[in-house]
Amino acid sequence: MKGKLLPALCHIFGVLILLAVIGSALLLTVPRLMGYQVYSVVSGSMEPHIPVGSLLYVETAQPETVADGEIIAFQSGDSVVTHRVLENRQVQGEFVTKGDANQEADLEPVPYEGLIGRVVRHIPYLGELMLLYTTTAGKVYAVCFAACGAMLNILAGRLRDRARERDEA
């Protein structure tokens, strides 16, 4: 029994680790291939609807098509901000926005030129993962984690071979 259980556990954990690394990488890369921009939420201005640490998928949008109540991402200085549109002022070419957690509307309207796009989906907690993958240390961790998964699968194969040799002897 022991000769079969340990290889099976090594194989299962190795596959789970590899699937976790591949799956998390796919969550960040596939949407980009489909034309979405991916961002991480670093402030609580949209809580509780979009918590800090969420992963955002943003699609390009024409400013005139953005409706009141939609959530947009826009450039504000060197930062990307995600807030809800209170009013789309098409004549002036600007949006009045507000973070859900903020008491007042943003002081400055967002000019159409600052629009990045419309937020189409958010996934809580995965923004932290994205931030990790964008650092050199995070990339090294991902590679090491994947290598551990692969080594567990190799170990499982060797343990199975050794158990088979013992059974034959």
* Interval 26-60: pLDDT, tens: 888 888 889 999 999 999 999 999 999 999 999 99
Domains and CATH numbers, the chain: 2-168 (2.10.109.10)
Tell me the C-alpha distance between 59 and 49, whole Å. Answer: 19
Sequence-ordered list of residues with C-beta below 8 angstroms from that of 165, at least 6 positions apart, any chain: none
pLDDT of 80 > 60? The answer is yes
pTM, two decimals, is 0.76
Structure confidence at residue 133 (pLDDT): 84
